[in-house]
Amino acid sequence: MGYQVYLRSFADGDGDGWGDLAGLRARLEHLAWLGVDVVWISPLYPSPLRDGGYDVADYLDVDPRLGSLEELGALVSEAHALGLRILLDLVPNHTSSDHPWFMAARGDRDSPYRDHYVWRDPAPDGGPPNNWPAHFGGPAWTYDDASGQYWLHLFLPHQPDLNWQSPAVDEAFADILERWLAWGIDGVRIDVAHALVKHPDLPDLPPAPGQGDEVEVTGGSGVGVEREFERYAHVHDADQPGVTEIYRRWRAIADRHDALLLGEVYLLEPQRLRRYVADQDGLHLAFWFAPLHLEWSPAAVRAALREGLEEVGPWLSWPLASHDRPRSATALGGGDLGRARALCLATLVCGLPGLPMIYQGEELGLTDVPLPHEVRQDPIAVRGEPERARDPGRTPIPWEPGPGWGFTSADEPWLPIGDRRPEDTVAVQRGDLDSWLQRYRALLATRKGLHGSVADEPVDWLAPDGPIVAYRRGPVVVAANCGQQAATLTLDGRHRIVRFASARAREGQRVAEELPLEPHEAVVLGP
């Protein structure tokens, strides 16, 4: 089981209002108690923080606001002693504009680092070289007065894209990966793993289906920065030939260190995702993001799970939420309804092959925190689309009631914690066997306890339609009522025990012929 730590919001160990390595180290026991195996830490490198640390200024050090290499080493040692593996977040698509490579490249067209990035002369009208938009609004090109060329950036202008056609870039990242794994890190989550390679001719993007013959990059006004990006068919700026070759080279490094390569391959078409993991000579696992885009219904849940698994196979990681999306309880309806649906989805995912990934706070049933615009820091909000800002899902974890909610001793954290209640905290929920935290812990324990029974078993889907989504793997049955009315699943007559239930009182019951389920109730049956 995986767990994402968004470091600045997890736990503050030095009282400055920022989560840090010292805070995470002090809370490792929580993760071990919960039943986590793999901990993915969001970027911790030196950064000007124009995009939450995904603008890296040095790939081989730790931002002093978050700790030091010595503290990271101590954390890794303690994590290993608790049976936890640590993944770092590697960001190979772009650097910060403050990275020494880019500063050298920008300052001199003859610099050996010039070819580390993608530069092009202006179009005949003096504008950008092509029509590519950036994820965060406006063109994906910024003009450099000093050199008379544009640089490419699929995200912020302060995040220039690296040129993966350059052997020097390839060699640099092979060295970065080798050094971290030799140092003791257990693997990496690879940011924007599908977009490192671009079409060598950088042709214009065609409109997305339904957009007409032409669309215009406006800079975000009117349509919103993310919707502007979605108006194009991204057939030249992502998922290009050659990108999987990078991961084949990295796999040789990872295998020497028994390390994991987990790719953020943000492709919602499973047949495109498949090539990143199918031969198992590149990435070990790739995220399957379709469940995070659900419009809740039994049919949608069933389709999102089946399509990824049947097309890609067992080499998936299943994110239950992330720092880039609303928290699942918010996305799936809000309040207790959203929490119940989120636990249904988590139960279904936890029985499938692959690596489920919990985003910090999901185990508490946390919802997003409404934040005034003036405190938001996400570039999406700053650049004109506050309703899609990611800050509400990135607020600090409430550990215990009281000043600072156990997150910090500072007067103010880096983002407001919000209107949390004592029953939202880890301390209170650990003492309540019916809490979301205790239900998540019981689910993870059930997954581990039944692993030997299902490890090599295929997934046999049991309910092709109707409100119940269910499957069997060997002797184990996982089922969730994703509808609005009570329903019953007909079983095969084999006697099974309720090993996990979202309603704890059902655990230990014996069932054989029929399994009645209330709306948004989920169970795991086993021998």
3-state class (DSSP) for residue 384: coil
How many other CB atoms sit within 10 Å of the CB of residue 86?
A: 20
- 442 near 432, Cβ under 8 Å? no
Q: Of 185, 276, 201, 281, which Cα lies nearest the Cα of 237?
A: 201
Which residue in the list 161, 170, 264, 424 is annotated as catalytic?
264
Cα separation, 48 vs 61, in Å, equals 14
Of the candidates 365, 336, 373, 375, which has an alpha carbon nearest to the alpha carbon of residue 443? Answer: 365
3-class SS letters over 102-122: HHHHHHCCCCCCHHHECEECC
Helix or strand (DSSP H, E) at 337: helix 335-350
Closest listed residue to residue 169, CA positions, set 103, 94, 242: 94
Residue 33, C-beta contacts closer than 8 angstroms, at least 6 positions apart: 441
Alpha carbons 58 and 53: distance in angstroms, whole number: 11
Residue type, 197: V
Residue 493 burial by CB count (10 A; 0-12/13-18/19+): exposed, middle or buried? exposed
**Six token digits for residue 205:** 């993007």
Rg (CA), the chain: 23
Residue 75 Ramachandran class (φ > 0 left, ψ -120 to 50 alpha, else beta): alpha
- In the chain, the amino acid numbered 238 is A
Euclidean distance between CA atoms 426 and 438, whole angstroms: 10
Is residue 264 flagged as an active site residue? Answer: yes
CA atoms within 13 A on the CB side of 181: 22
Distance (Å, whole) CA 517 – CA 525 = 13
For helices 167-183 and 243-256, what crossing angle results, to 10°?
30
d(CA 104, CA 111): 6
State yes or no: is 191 an active-site residue: yes
Task: Spot the catalytic one: 191, 324, 362, 378.
Answer: 191
Do 159 and 153 form a contact (C-beta atoms < 8 A)?
yes
| Cβ atoms of residues 99 and 50 within 8 Å | no
Q: Quick one: tokens of 136? A: 């965060």
- Alpha helical stretches, state H, 188-297: 225-230, 243-256, 270-273
CB 32 within 8 A of CB 48: no
Strands 260-263 and 187-190: parallel
Q: What is the crossing angle of helices 335-350 and 436-454, to 10°?
A: 20
Return the active site residues. 191, 264
